[in-house]
Amino acid sequence: MSLITSLKKPLFLEKNDFYIFLIRDFFHDVRPFVQSSFDGFNVSIFAYGQTSSGKTHTMEGSNHDRGLYVRCFEELFDLSNADATSISQYDFYLTVFELYNDQVKDLLLECNIRPSKIFMGPLGSAIELVQEKVVNPLDFIQVLKSGLERRGEDVSRNNMSHLVVTIHIRYSNCITSEKLYSKLSLVDLAGSESLLAKDISGEIVKDFLHVSKSLSA
């Protein structure tokens, strides 16, 4: 399994011996990119590999080893607590969607009767998603869990779909009226064998870059 991170250019991080590594090892590798998202850059991290190579486990984790979703938010939350002052604050929002056969399924659509929404992607092809405000790691875990439950348990479908979890970071200063926005997108890609089966013209890398560009818009 590989993690592909995107800031200004792709960086591939390999972990081949899935059964002997801990998720914290992966988090150590991607931690600088979490810092970059906090600093105002739009960052995307892709988990790529064959089905059963450990992508979803790495992202979601287990009862004994927290996944990258939670670890990344915990890091952002800690950074915000260290940086916030009496005149400034950070707010975090979460969006979760599944992409299957070019169709988008908003997994937080039923979380709120009157949801707040956000547009993601470049002009002309942006998608409208429900965004849930999360105020601490426990809140994040609960909202994320509700979204993952809506994805369902169809293993074959899940293996052929992409899951995109995005943490939206909003900073505001009540004295200067300064407002900043950035986001960290964590993407659990479909099994690479599913992608390769469709890759007639060798366009997989271009697709990665296109998705990354859309998430960074």
Q: How far apart are CA 184 and CA 142, in angstroms?
A: 19
> To the nearest whole number, what is the mean pLDDT of the chain?
79
Residue 61 has pLDDT above 50, yes or no: yes
Contact 187, 163 (CB under 8 A): yes
Confidence at residue 163, expressed as pLDDT on a 0 to 100 scale: 93
Instruction: Give the highest mean pLDDT range of 27-41, 46-60, 107-121.
Output: 27-41
Contact 12, 45 (CB under 8 A): no
Beta strand pairing status for 43-48 and 2-6?
antiparallel
3-state DSSP call for residue 150? helix
Domains and CATH numbers, the chain: 2-216 (3.40.850.10)
Sign (positive or negative) of CA dihedral 53, 1, 142, 151: negative
Least confident of 11-20, 114-123, 153-162: 11-20
Confidence at residue 152, expressed as pLDDT on a 0 to 100 scale: 73
Residue 39 has pLDDT above 80, yes or no: yes
Alpha-helical segments (H) within 44-134: 55-60, 68-83
Numbered residues of the known binding site for ATP: 49-56
3-state DSSP call for residue 28? helix
Structure tokens at 97: 């969607």
Confidence at residue 19, expressed as pLDDT on a 0 to 100 scale: 44
Numbered residues of the known binding site: 49-56
Confidence at residue 104, expressed as pLDDT on a 0 to 100 scale: 86
pLDDT in tens, 159-195: 678 899 999 999 999 889 999 999 999 999 887 655 5
Give 117 or 109, the one with higher predicted confidence.
109
Residue 5 has pLDDT above 80, yes or no: no
Question: What is this structure's pTM?
Answer: 0.81
The stretch 21-32 carries a mean pLDDT of 84
